Amino acid sequence: MRVAPSFVKILGLTLAIGSVLASSTAFAQIGAGSLVVSGVTSTPTHWNIPIGVPTTAQICGVTTAEAGDPLPLTIPVWVKSSYFGNTMLTATWVGGDCYEFTYTPPALANGDGYDACNTTIVSYVTVGLNSNNDYCDDGLDNGSQNAAAGFRFVDAFGNPIDCVPVGVETGPWSQVKGLYR
């Protein structure tokens, strides 16, 4: 049986891409550190925080395997959003295995160009090491985490703020795009 040369090239390229993806650190993992925000409500994976207001949060459970031995005085933290990008912050060691940082979600009222919306994930040490949801799933530090944790943005009444989708202009092409929403 003879195999077409173009098939061999495509197969080779597919295997090469798969090898790179399998060996890369592009995919995030859930770390030992739990995201904690006192005095606010939560879903099982996100803390509800108002936009435009500074929020103090902690990541507790950070290990020396993740951050170094001894634990450093500061670590980088990222608030990751697919809607408005990533924001890098610095968290300061507050004792034990806990770090604290303050985040102010973007708000038009504060002069930002947009309001924060939907949800984010918070990572620490590296952009690919996500905080876990051990505290926000049931309010306890009991090892029940099973997902990444982050912030959900709410209005002054505590209602979630959804991102407004970009409109599609009318016409034949927009009808095709509309099929894939």
CATH code for the domain defined by 27-164 = 2.60.40
If you search the block for the tokens 């002069």, which residue do you land on?
111
- The C-alpha R_g of the chain, in whole angstroms, comes to 21
pTM for the whole thing?
0.78
The pLDDT of 13-38, averaged and rounded, is 66
User: What does the pLDDT read at residue 179?
Assistant: 62
User: What does the pLDDT read at residue 145?
Assistant: 87
Task: Please check the confidence at residue 1 and state whether its pLDDT lies above 60.
Answer: no
Confidence of residue 99 (pLDDT cuts 50, 70, 90): very high
The pLDDT of 2-22, averaged and rounded, is 46
User: What does the pLDDT read at residue 22?
Assistant: 41
